[in-house]
Amino acid sequence: MALQLLSNSETAFAFPTGTALLLTKTLLINMFIIGGRIMPHMTVEFSDGLSTESLRLLCRTIYEVLAASDDFPTAGIRVRVHKADIAFVGDGLPENDFVALTLSVGAGRTRDVLHAAGSQIFAAAQEALADRLAEPYFSLSLEIRQIDPDLSWKDTPIHARFSPKKD
């Protein structure tokens, strides 16, 4: 397979059959430098009763777990927080609160890797929210979703900052 750099942002691969595949620099980084295993994007959804301080601690804790892992590229880490303005939790009591964590990851990691990462993240979240988990009106959950690369589009130049520089 021959590789030809067309410009600073495009590369062509020539296959033995004579066909060529044009790829952007970002896609190349995703495919080869970080093995196509892009992301982890953590979405933190929460109800009204959580303090800003506890949410900051939770998000920082999750970020640190993801950043410390060799299984997730730093350039792909996102921790986003969304408040549920209206939520009915459990039996509908107004003092019921929740945090629902959803980790979206690109394809390519084994189930064991994802399970280990989920266990680390969940344990860290439990520690960060220990005061709330000691109450009978709180719920914490984590789900990991693996994204089908054929059904996911991205344009993420931030990855270029994290790729190795070639002289």
Residue 165: predicted pLDDT: 62
Angle between helices 52-68 and 111-128 (to 10 degrees): 150
pLDDT tens track for 61-86: 999 999 999 888 888 899 999 999 99
Whether the model clears a pTM of 0.75, i.e. scores above it, the answer is no
Residue 167: predicted pLDDT: 57
Residue 38 or residue 116, greater confidence: 116
Yes or no: say if 81 and 55 are a contact pair by the CB < 8 Å rule.
yes
Residue 166: predicted pLDDT: 60
In this predicted structure, which of 60-64, 96-100, 104-108 has the lowest mean pLDDT?
Answer: 104-108
Q: How confident is residue 135, by pLDDT bands cut at 50, 70 and 90?
A: very high
Q: Pairing between strand 138-147 and 78-83? A: unpaired
Q: Give me the mean pLDDT over the 11-29 stretch.
A: 40
Yes or no: say if 155 and 113 are a contact pair by the CB < 8 Å rule.
no
pLDDT tens track for 32-65: 333 444 679 999 999 999 999 999 999 999 999 9
Residue 101: predicted pLDDT: 98
**Checking phi first, is residue 160 left (phi over 0); if not, alpha (psi -120 to 50) or beta?**
alpha
Q: Give me the mean pLDDT over the 114-118 stretch.
A: 96
